[in-house]
Amino acid sequence: MKLALFDLDHTLLPIDSDYSWGVYTTDIGWTDNDHFRHRNDEFYAHYQAGTLDIHDYVRFSTEATRLRGPQVAAQAHADFMATRVGPNITPQALDLIRSHQGEQVIIVTATNEFITRPIASALGVSELIAVELERDASGWITGDIKGTPSFREGKVSRVKQWLAERDLAWDEVEVTFYSDSINDLALLEKATHPVATNPDPGLRTLATERGWRILDLFT
Catalytic status, residue 180? no
Evaluate if residue 141 carries a pLDDT over 80: yes
pTM assigned to the model: 0.95
Query: Stretch 195-203: mean pLDDT, rounded?
Result: 96
Give the C-alpha separation, 156 to 90, whole Å.
Answer: 27
Evaluate if residue 11 carries a pLDDT over 80: yes
**pLDDT grade for 48, boundaries at 50, 70 and 90:** confident
Catalytic residue among 9, 16, 18, 180: 9
Q: Identify any residues that bridge with 179 across adjacent strands, giving them in sequence order.
A: 196
Quick one: what percent of the chain has pLDDT higher than 70? Answer: 100
pLDDT of residue 95: 98
Evaluate if residue 60 carries a pLDDT over 80: yes
Average pLDDT over all residues of the chain: 96
**pLDDT grade for 219, boundaries at 50, 70 and 90:** confident
Residue 71 CB partners (closer than 8 Å, separation 6+): none
Q: Which residue has the higher pLDDT, 130 or 52?
A: 130
Query: Stretch 150-170: mean pLDDT, rounded?
Result: 97
Alpha-helix residue ranges (DSSP H) falling in 50-112: 54-68, 70-80, 91-98
pLDDT of residue 176: 98
- Residue 6 φ then ψ, to 5°: -130, 125
Catalytic status, residue 7? yes
Evaluate if residue 13 carries a pLDDT over 90: yes
pLDDT of residue 58: 94
Catalytic residue among 7, 16, 18, 180: 7
pLDDT of residue 169: 95
Helix/strand/coil percent split, the chain, to 5: 50, 20, 30
